[in-house]
Amino acid sequence: MKTHKQLEQFASKPNSYNDRAGVNLKTYDTKNVSRLNTDNTLEASIYTSQMIWPATHDETRPGTVILFPNKSWSIGLASVNFIHHPNNGPVFHFDSEGVSEEVLNEIDRLQPKGNSEGIQIMVMGDITDHVNEQLASYKVKSLTAETAAQFAFKVDEEYARLTDEYPENILVVSSEDHAKLFSLVAGYWIAHMPEPILYVETNGVPLETIKALKKRKNPNIYIVGPEKIISKQVEEELSMYGSVTRIPGDNPVDVSIEFTMFKDQDSGFGWGIDKPGRGLSFISTSQPELAITTAPFSHLGKHCPLIWLDQGKLEDSVYHFLAKIKPTFQDSPQEGPYNHSYLMGSIETISYETQGIIDNKLEIVAESDGGHH
């Protein structure tokens, strides 16, 4: 258990900076931080795919690749549920012109094995004849809907059909654009665990969401975000269909930290991260869609939750959270445990200075001032 003095020390900000640190860099990785050095969501999805699925042999090939329309973050977020088993695959986007050559090349590299029903590619949203032609050599399934709430309902239904059960833990998020940063926090969790999201609005619960809730018997409903995003009125309405818990926070950064630390011991829901030896993913609030295409980092490897960086910078709340999970050792740093993080975004979006601070805050240090000799 860290003392108050240690927590204050670990949460402290640097006193001085070296303005030459980012000059002539040969690598954008540091010892405790791996960076995906791009702000392009398509590039990020391919980097993620290649890091998570080497595809060198059957055990490292994905089952099903997920494609979603790049103009709809709400469809993309709901689609993330399919990253999990039995699909076990990356998520890419397509646009009005079709599936890009880069994505087609990556799918060819992956050689997806197919899920339990042999489906190699799941396409979300309406697709053109051209997309059908592009994917003609694969076994494809598509999922369409007219609204975000209807789409989330269909994802829930399809996942339950694949796994023969409706999960009892459900995340409720807003589908409205002003709520995007709050809602996207849930994506990393539903890629990590087979638990869906359902959509509401600030002051209303769509019929499709109610219909999905009624398929369960007293489910555990977790609202992500404050009352200004999902009102008390909606919370009360949802309580008619199950047990409701809100994961609060005044802003997206605080919600991401609250979610990362939250754990419901009775249901097993939540990351519950308040000790060292963890993986984390950091994304700037200026590049929110990266939270969709990099979500597989929560599915395999270090199983990372998402922490927002406000416009690419570290807030006080992040400093204090990192202090809580700072690893310490008694005799030798080889004892561990170790923290590691992924940083999603370019040097222009998240500075090398910020990366250096995160790297240092994740570093294992001596429990006492005696240090390691």
Instruction: Give the integer Cα–Cα distance in Å for 271 and 265.
Output: 11
pLDDT at 37: 97
- Is the overall model pTM greater than 0.85, yes or no? yes
Contacts of 316 (CB under 8 A, 6+ apart): 11
Within 13 Å, how many C-alpha atoms sit on residue 156's CB side? Answer: 27
pLDDT at 2: 86
288 by DSSP, 3-state: which?
coil
Q: Which pLDDT band holds residue 361 (cuts at 50, 70, 90)?
A: very high
Mean pLDDT score across all residues of the chain:
96
- Tracing tokens 């199983």 back to the chain, one arrives at 303
pLDDT at 96: 84
Q: Taking residues 87-111, what's their average pLDDT?
A: 96
CB 241 within 8 A of CB 208: no
pLDDT at 1: 77
Q: Taking residues 132-156, what's their average pLDDT?
A: 96
Domains of the chain with bracketed CATH: 1-17+27-39+273-373 (no CATH), 43-144 (3.40.50), 151-271 (3.40.1010)
pLDDT at 369: 62
Q: Taking residues 279-285, what's their average pLDDT?
A: 98
In the predicted structure, residue 363 carries a pLDDT above the cut 80: yes
Instruction: Give the integer Cα–Cα distance in Å for 17 and 125.
Output: 48
Q: Which pLDDT band holds residue 54 (cuts at 50, 70, 90)?
A: very high
> Among residues of the chain, what percentage have pLDDT more than 70?
99
Name residue 352's amino acid.
Answer: Y
Q: Which pLDDT band holds residue 373 (cuts at 50, 70, 90)?
A: very low
| Closest to 315 (Cα-Cα) out of 369, 359, 264, 256 | 256
Higher pLDDT, 128 or 267: 267
- Give how far the C-alpha of residue 48 lies from the chain's centroid of Cα atoms, to the nearest Å: 12
CB atoms within 10 A of CB 295: 31
pLDDT at 290: 98
Instruction: Give the integer Cα–Cα distance in Å for 228 and 214.
Output: 26
pLDDT at 113: 98
Paired tokens of 262: 């939250």
Q: Taking residues 266-277, what's their average pLDDT?
A: 97
Lowest-pLDDT choice from 58-62, 134-138, 261-265, 367-371: 367-371
Instruction: Give the integer Cα–Cα distance in Å for 127 and 211.
Output: 26
Write the DSSP string, 72-110. -HHHHHHHGGGGSTTT---EEEEBTTBS-HHHHHHHHHH
